[in-house]
Chain A
Amino acid sequence: MLRLENLSVTFNANTVNERKALKNINLKLDSGDFVTVIGSNGSGKSTLMNAVCGSCNIDSGKIFVGGKNITYAKEHRRARYIGRLFQDPLKGTAPNMTIEENLGLAYSRGKKRSLSIGISNRDLKLFREKLAELDIGLEDRMKTPVGLLSGGQRQALTLLMATIVTPKLLLLDEHTAALDPVTADKVMSITEKIVKDNNITTLMITHNVSNALEYGNKTLVLSQGNILAYIEGEERANMSLSKIMELYADSSGDTLTDKMLFQ
């Protein structure tokens, strides 16, 4: 579903601050794969996502989604088939608009925005059902501006918005990192349910190593812009936290951050 060929990204090219964020990445996700991505700060996780969804320019390489070459497609064009969640819950929703208006915007994803009515009654019924499935009581607050919701509620809503029109690819960039542990678990379980129900190909960055092994079917370990390991199947089933640590120790000069060790 997603294929990356020799993808390279360099920041501040030709200056003293030049940094190669991604070095010749080759990666393939099959339809329905749920891949978790781990790596220390600066390993290129977020750059990988930004490159896929078009918010950063790449040096060379090709990006395919669903067999289509999108290497040079504009960000909003790619958004037609890529759903995306940011780490910051504030980024995914329009705070001064109501829950139903936010969902209405997300629901017209991929279609041409016309002068037809923003939200029809049939849409409202669908939104109510979908919100009820989240089970966080939002279905009764559809006229509430999103700015009044908590971070966890907003992130759950963003998740629904990103998937209400089933995307070909879902990108989750540490989407639970800014939430408290209980809410983070709740949002994670909602994530898993939605991804499973719709069989969405997903790429999830996480700083939580145990989450990375618990969820999904494959795990990608990045280090300094390279793929350190792509773990799947039996190898992944037998993988333990300490083994992942060893992987890191083996890689040149990169160590796990404290944040990852203590989680």
Chain B
Amino acid sequence: MSISNIINKKNILSLVPKLVLVILLLVIINTQMTESVVLGTLEKGLVFSFLALGIFISFRILDIPDLSVDGTFTLGVAVSVMNAYNGSPVRGIILAVIAGAAAGCVTGLLVTKLKVQPILAGIITMTALYSINLKIMSRPNISLWRKDTLFTYFEDSLGEYNKVIVSGIVLIAVSLILFLFLKTQLGMSLRATGDNEFMVRASSINSDTMKILGFALANGLVSLSGAMYAQYSSAGDTNSGTGMLVVGLASIIIGEIFFKKHSILFGILAAIIGATAYRYVLAFAMGLGMDSNYTKLFSAVIVAIAIAVPAVKGYAVDFYKRYILKGKGGDSKC
């Protein structure tokens, strides 16, 4: 087999975006950032990886864009911050996961049993959670200054790397459990539900139960992300969940540039790497002087562009054929 066979045109073309991104990231990290920024961005990337994993479950596995995420992220923040404020940060994180999963069940029940459209169901839960979050926190923001958090426990033993190591270990454990779960009978049923509901029901699986389970799992993870974020930043804000769905989508889309293959392992890796890469791109933009008020605009643009790429490609090909080739043929790309 000759080299030209292995490295054919198609392979090289598919590698281009990955290489560009890797080079870009390396350049960003090398030139723009001080060591502390690099570390801080990595920490944020790890914390927001839980968010990306949650959205991976609802958006990629269940194939439903779940808007309740904006509310459940804040729910995680609120539960975590209140418990940490009262001196039990670990309990805060565990309760946050449970609360998030319960909120996910509400969305799931709305979608399956009450036949509310998925987008609307998410909006309903998100809106309801806004009040609940305010109720839990009792004021719009709370600082954990001088309070113990999950991360301060390890400050003495791990030094400045405490945040990366702690969130990294939790992330690895959660990803591993998620990966193994998706390989079980229950996990396979969940994946099939997003893939083909007819087939799932014909295989004697209750697709409603599976959807509720999926929503619970997704929102539990998102809430975990909020809980970690609150203790990471030692502060909780009732507005911190705004736009989190789009942030998560942007992470997944960036991650999928690296891993095209649709397998569970690559999906999970794509979510984690995407969430981290997203934070670096954001930090780079801010380093160039982007106003931090524009971060949400930034992620919205990323998602819009990424989803529009296939359509724009199609127009470009049409334009090329019509005006450049003037109908003289060439291969048709659909």
Which A residues lie at the B interface, using CB under 8 A? 53, 55, 74-77, 79-80, 83-84, 86, 90-97, 101-102, 104-106, 108-110, 113-118, 145, 161-162
Contact = CB atoms under 8 A, between A and B. Distances in A.
Contacts of A106: 203
Nearest to B210: A113
Contacts of A77: 204
B157 interface: no
B-side binding surface: helix, strand, loop or mixed?
helix
Given A94-B199, A97-B195, A109 B184 contact: no
Assign chain B's interface to a size class. Answer: 20 to 34
Contacts of B262: 96, 145
A27 B113 CA distance: 33
24 contacts: A75-B201, A76-B201, A77-B204, A79-B205, A91-B199, A95-B195, A95-B196, A96-B191, A96-B195, A96-B262, A97-B195, A105-B185, A105-B192, A105-B199, A110-B204, A113-B185, A114-B186, A115-B181, A115-B184, A116-B185, A118-B184, A118-B185, A118-B187, A145-B262
A95 B63 CA distance: 13
Contact of B199 (A53, A92, A117): A92
Contacts of B188: 97, 101, 104-105, 118
Interface in B195-252: 195-196, 198-207
Nearest to B182: A118
Nearest to B208: A76
Given A108-B185, A113-B189, A80 B195 contact: no
Given A94-B192, A115-B181, A116-B184, A105 B198 contact: no
A86 B203 CA distance: 13
B183 interface: yes
B185 A92 contact: no
B186 A76 contact: no
A260 B187 CA distance: 44
Nearest to A80: B204
A90 B262 CA distance: 18
Interface string B302-321: 00000000000000000000
Contacts of A83: 202
